Amino acid sequence: MKEFMFIIRGGEDKYRNNSPEEMQKHMQHWQQWMGGLAKSEQLVGGQPLMSEAKTLTEGGKKVTDRPFAEGKELVGGYLIIRADSLDHAAKVAKDCPSFEYGCSVEVREISPME
Amino acid sequence: MENRDHIDHTLNHLFRQESGKMVSVLIKIFGIENIELAEDVVQDALVKALETWKFRGMPDNPRAWLYRTAKNKAIDIIRHNKHSRVIDFSDPEKQLLTSGYTLATTMDNYWQEQHIKDDFLGMMYACCHPDISQENQITFILKALCGFSTKEVARSFLSNEDTISKRLYRTKEYFRKRKIRPVIPTSDEINPRTKTVLNAIYLMFNEGYNSTHADQLIRKDLISQAMFLCKSLLSEKRTQLPEVYALMGLMCFHASRINSRLTEEGRLILLSEQDRTTWDTELIQSGEQYLNKAAFGDELSTYHLEAAIAYQHCCAKKYADTNWEMILEYYELLLKIANDPIVFLNRCLVILELKGPKKALIALENMKSNRLLEKYYLYHAILGEIYQQLEDNSVAVTYYQKAIELTHSKQERQFLKDKIARISK
């Protein structure tokens, strides 16, 4: 099994305007999806990220009080899972609840230590 | 000030009913190795309730308030310990507690009514693990499931806090080492395991019912907690066994008479002299219902028979109406199931009632060599009564005196002294 990172981007606007009921339904969905991954021992971990950010450029000399991306490109969270291959990991990512918020999910294999 | 008392009273009652459930759920979340952590969270919730309610008044749903507070505190603890090894998150369900995506929902799932009930019953079975001594079982039940403080447990056992702390420590160590999981046993194990639980409940009840001592508050608490635990078993299909119904019925019958057993000055009143109008008819009716429900399955337990005997007393309008023949029959059956010297003694009392002192003496003499009985005050008290009825007062007094030496109960001693005074006149 290899490890893959899901980088979840976007969805901020919709997330902010959500009703508590929608929110709860969404969280239940996360619960089911991640619960399934945990049960099949595919889940390594994952957290939503705070939206505040600082971006360092120019060799670390310049610090900007924002993420280095457009709003819809903002990384909202990450997840690390186990899968056999990149294709397999992409298949797993298809059910990610973040799509309900119009997010994109980038799937990248984590380079194994050798 | 009245408001304050009201809050104290409600909270105390609520706490006795809910703390054990909260502890059980938290043990499920944190793991059996973290019992103290679970107890601390519940204790914190109680303190917070006291402080908050004093100023803002009671919330509409105090139970929900307590649960929410405990839940939030648990979330804090998980956040703090996410990277430590204090809590074992390796179980897939618990792994979901470590992610912000799933922590809140997972936590909510743990607090669903059915889960709370299962965890509480599971914890009851863990406390009554057959390898734990009965004394330790009850100590632990009172502390972890009934919300008693170590001090209160000590008072209810007439023991000191040090002894109780040691007992609690030993039980916790046992849980840790053996990794006892608090679960309701599987169907092939549930019968024998439930017997141990019922035994602990019954002992708890007896502790509250029989040994009369000054601290009435704790005593009545023991009785109501024993009944509460038994009722919890009856609230779940898997544990609705005939014996459980029988024990519940038995406790209702005994509890119905609780207020007629002592005078205001704390003197014992004999069954024949008790004011039957003070008996709690509602409890007697509940007892009948439980006893009716106990009549299935193919096993006649001691609880069935003891309940049947207690019922005979409850349904007799006056002492003279008591159906002693029926009661004697139940005692004969009881002796067949459990050859218990105490049952034997009680049967002798029935014989005394039914057939007179000579027959009772013959029955008792069969047991003379029983060492256990020799040390039991009731044995000597009964012999005293028999000789008194045979009008051999000097022998009677000797037996009463022996009985006085053997009982620790102030009330029982006074009762026997009164008897001596009366016949020595």
Cα–Cα distance for residue pair B84/B31, rounded to 1 Å: 14
Summarize the confidence of residues B109-135 as an average pLDDT.
95
B219-258: burial string, b at 16+ Cβ within 10 Å, e else: bebbbbbbbebbebbbeeeebebbbbbbbbbbbbbbbbbb
For residue B277, the 8-state DSSP code is: G
Summarize the confidence of residues B190-211 as an average pLDDT.
91
Percent of chain B with pLDDT over 70: 98
Q: Are A34 and B96 in contact (CB < 8 Å)? A: yes
Residue B147 has pLDDT above 60, yes or no: yes
Identity (one letter) of the amino acid at B145?
L
Summarize the confidence of residues A43-59 as an average pLDDT.
91
Chain B hits for A38, CB-CB cut-off 8 Å, are 92-93, 95-96
Choose the mutation target among B79, B90, B91, B101 for the interface with A, i.e. most A CBs under 10 Å: B101
Q: What does the pLDDT read at residue B252? A: 97
Of B367 and B345, the structure prediction assigns the larger pLDDT to: B345
Q: What does the pLDDT read at residue A112? A: 85
Cα–Cα distance for residue pair B385/B397, rounded to 1 Å: 9
Residue B163 has pLDDT above 50, yes or no: yes
Bridge-partner residues for A75, per DSSP? Answer: A9
Q: How many Cβ atoms are within 10 Å of B64's Cβ, its own excluded?
A: 10
| pLDDT band of B212, cuts 50, 70, 90 | low
* Most confident by average pLDDT, A61-70, B115-124, B373-382: B115-124
Which of A30-44, A94-108, B146-160, B388-402 has the least mean pLDDT? B146-160
A76 vs A22, A33, A45, A49, A54, CA distance in Å? 18, 18, 15, 5, 15
Of B350 and A52, the structure prediction assigns the larger pLDDT to: B350
Asked if B201 and B225 count as a contact pair (C-beta separation under 8 A), the reply is: no
Cα–Cα distance for residue pair B417/A37, rounded to 1 Å: 74
A55-85: burial string, b at 16+ Cβ within 10 Å, e else: eeeeeeeeeeeebeeeeeebbbbbbebbbee
Identity (one letter) of the amino acid at B204?
M
Q: What does the pLDDT read at residue B268? A: 78
**The sheet that has A104-109: what strands, in order across it?**
A43-48, A75-83, A2-9, A104-109
3-class DSSP assignment, residue B322:
coil
Percent of chain B with pLDDT over 90: 71
Q: What does the pLDDT read at residue B162? A: 95
Of B55 and A3, the structure prediction assigns the larger pLDDT to: A3
Whether A77 and chain B come into contact, CB under 8 Å, resolves to: yes
Q: Are B99 and A39 in contact (CB < 8 Å)? A: no
Cα–Cα distance for residue pair B304/B309, rounded to 1 Å: 9
Cα–Cα distance for residue pair B183/B121, rounded to 1 Å: 7
Q: What does the pLDDT read at residue B330? A: 96
Summarize the confidence of residues B315-333 as an average pLDDT.
94
Summarize the confidence of residues B81-110 as an average pLDDT.
93
Select from B131, B134, B68, B137 the least CA-distant residue to B104: B68
Q: Min CA distance, A61 vs chain B (Å)?
A: 33
| pLDDT band of B215, cuts 50, 70, 90 | low
CB pairs under 8 A between A and B: 41
Q: pTM for this structure?
A: 0.89
- Calculate the average pLDDT of chain A: 91
Of B79 and A66, the structure prediction assigns the larger pLDDT to: B79
Write the pLDDT tens digit of every residue in A68-96: 777 778 899 999 999 999 999 999 999 99
Residue B339 has pLDDT above 70, yes or no: yes
Q: Are B99 and A47 in contact (CB < 8 Å)? A: yes
Write the pLDDT tens digit of every residue in B238-292: 999 999 999 999 999 999 998 888 877 777 788 888 999 999 999 999 999 999 9
Residue B204 has pLDDT above 60, yes or no: yes
Chain B hits for A49, CB-CB cut-off 8 Å, are none
Question: CA quadruple B75, B76, B77, B83: dihedral positive or negative?
Answer: positive
3-class DSSP assignment, residue B319:
helix
Asked if B244 and B182 count as a contact pair (C-beta separation under 8 A), the reply is: no
Longest dimension (CA), chain A: 47
**Which of A31, A41, A43 lies closest to B105 in CB terms?**
A31
Crossing angle of helices B113-127 and B190-209, in 10° steps, is 80
Which of B88-97, B365-374, B386-395 has the least mean pLDDT? B365-374
Residue B1 has pLDDT above 70, yes or no: no
Select from B214, B236, B217 the least CA-distant residue to B225: B217
Residue A103 has pLDDT above 90, yes or no: yes
- Calculate the average pLDDT of chain B: 91
Judging by DSSP bridges, how do beta strands A55-57 and A62-64 pair with one another? antiparallel
Q: What does the pLDDT read at residue A70? A: 73
| pLDDT band of B211, cuts 50, 70, 90 | low
Which of B20-34, B111-125, B407-421 has the least mean pLDDT? B407-421
B289 CB-near residues (< 8 Å, 6+ apart): B249
Summarize the confidence of residues B309-334 as an average pLDDT.
94
Summarize the confidence of residues B179-205 as an average pLDDT.
94
Helix (H), strand (E) at residue B47: helix B35-56
Q: How many Cβ atoms are within 10 Å of A11's Cβ, its own excluded?
A: 20
ipTM given for this complex: 0.89
